[in-house]
Amino acid sequence: MIEDFFYEIVAEDKNSRARAGILHTPHGSIDTPTFMPVGTQATVKTLDQEDLQQTHSQIILGNAYHLYLRPGHELIYRAGGLHEFMNWQHPILTDSGGFQVFSLKELNSVEEQGVTFRSHLDGSTHLFSPEIVMEIEHRIGADIIMAFDECTSYPCEYQYAKQSMEMTLRWATRCKQHHEILSEERKHRPNQALFGIVQGSTFPELRIHCANELASMELPGYAIGGLAVGEPRNNMLEIVAETTPHMPLKKPRYLMGVGLPHDMVESVGLGIDMFDCVVPTRNARNGTAFTKHGRLRLKNAKHSENNQPIDETCQCKTCQNYSRSYLRHLFQTGEYLGLHLTSFHNIFFYNQIMREAREAIIAGNFKLWQNQFLSSYKDR
C-alpha cells in the first residue's frame, strides 16, 4: 500500500455491487462514488478553480499528452507541479494520453517499444513509451497517474483486440517497474498512485483475463478503458458488469470516459467508484443543460419567455439566479456567460448525482434511488 494513498469502503449495497468509499490521497480525501471534471489542458473549460470548488468537485482530470505538448511537463515541474501551476490544491488524476495518441490514427505507428506519433499542433514527431509516459506523469505530479495502454477503436476484430490487450499488460508491467524507480527518486515529493487499465474491446473473456492479470500486479487502483468509443450502450454495460467482479474489491474502480447521467447511475450499481467525461462541459457549451428529467436544450425557442430556472430543485448559482429565458438570450447573442453558467450547472448536477448515490448506498436504499432516477431520466 502506498503511504498517503488508500481506499476504504464505508458501505456496500446489499442488492447491487454499489459501494460508498473514501479515497485518501496526498492532496485530500475523495468521497466515492465521484465524478471528475475534465481539465485536459490544466483547465476545465469556462470554469476557474473557485468555480470547481463551488460545484463540489473533489478531484479533476488532466491529460499527459496535451500537457506534454503544451506547456511542457518540464515547465510544469519547474513551477512546482500541476497543483501549483494551476492553483488547485486538491486531488488530480492524469490520463496517460494513450487515448489521444491512438485517436490520431494515421498519424501514429504502434510497436512494442511504444507509439511514434506526430503532434496535432505542429506535426513534430514524438515517441510515447511506458517509461517516457511515466517520466512525464511524474514531472506533472498528479496524485493518480494512469498506465500507458492501447485503446482500440470500435468495431475491433477479436485477434487484434487480443494482441492489443496483451501488449497493454506488458506495458503495464513496464509502467509499474519504471514508476517504482522514479518513486525512489522523488521521495521529497508526494507519492503518486499508479492505476492499471483493463482493455479487451467488447470481448468479455479478454476483459476478464486482463482484469485478472492486472489484479495480480497489486496496483493501488484499476480502471476500465476503451469504452464509450461507439459501441452500443448495452455492450458497454455488459462489459462493465462482466469486468468489475474480477477487479480487486478493496481498490478503487474507475470507468474512463463514460459520463451520461443514466450510464453513471447504472455503473455505480455495477461497482464503479470513479467517472470522468467531457459530456457535461461540452454539452453546456452547445447550450444543453442536464437535469433529472433529461437534457434541456436552452437554445430552443420554447424557452424564449420561460422565467423558470434550469431546475427549480437545484441549488447551484445558475439555477438560483438565472432563468431559462436569460440563458437562451446569452446563447443567442454569443455571450461567454452562457457557456460559463451552463457549465457550472452541469458540473454541479453531476456532482449532486454522485452525492445522492453515495447517500443512498449508506442509507441502504440505493436500488430504490437508482430505480427512481432511471425512471425519471427520460432523454437517453
Residue 3: its pLDDT value, please?
A: 63
Is the pTM of the predicted complex or chain greater than 0.75? yes
The pLDDT-based confidence of 108 (bands split at 50, 70, 90) is: confident
Residue 380 has pLDDT above 60, yes or no: no
pLDDT digits (tens, 9 = 90+) for 286-323: 999 999 999 999 999 999 999 999 999 999 999 999 99
Please check whether residue 324 is in contact with residue 306, taking contact to mean a CB–CB distance below 8 angstroms.
Answer: yes
According to DSSP, the residues that pair with 61 across neighbouring strands are 38, 93
Q: Which one from 13, 95, 263, 311 is the annotated catalytic residue?
A: 95
Residue 379: its pLDDT value, please?
A: 75
CA separation, residue 249 to residues 24, 30, 121, 221, 327 (Å): 16, 18, 41, 10, 44
Q: Lowest-confidence range among 82-91, 105-114, 126-135? A: 105-114
Q: Where would I find the beta strands (DSSP E) of the chain? A: 6-12, 19-25, 28-32, 34-37, 60-63, 92-95, 108-110, 115-118, 125-128, 144-146, 193-198, 221-224, 253-255, 274-277, 288-291, 294-297
Residue 74 has pLDDT above 50, yes or no: yes
CA separation, residue 185 to residues 135, 173, 179, 311, 376 (Å): 11, 19, 10, 50, 52
- Work out the average pLDDT over 21-41: 98
Residue 104: its pLDDT value, please?
A: 77
Residue 276 has pLDDT above 90, yes or no: yes
Residue 195 has pLDDT above 70, yes or no: yes
All domains of the chain in start order, with CATH: 6-284+345-376 (3.20.20.105)
Residue 191 has pLDDT above 70, yes or no: yes
Edge to edge, the sheet with strand 60-63 lists 34-37, 274-277, 253-255, 221-224, 193-198, 144-146, 92-95, 60-63
SS3 104: coil
Residue 107: its pLDDT value, please?
A: 66
Does 95 participate in catalysis according to the annotation? yes
With cell 498528479, the residue in question is 142
The pLDDT-based confidence of 60 (bands split at 50, 70, 90) is: very high
Residue 7 sits at φ, ψ, to 5 deg, of -120, 130
Omega before 26 within 30 of 0, i.e. cis: no
C-alpha grid cell for residue 158? 477479436
Does 4 participate in catalysis according to the annotation? no
Q: Which one from 13, 51, 143, 276 is the annotated catalytic residue?
A: 276
Q: How many CB atoms lie within 10 A of CB 159?
A: 8
pLDDT digits (tens, 9 = 90+) for 326-362: 999 999 999 999 999 999 999 999 999 999 999 999 9
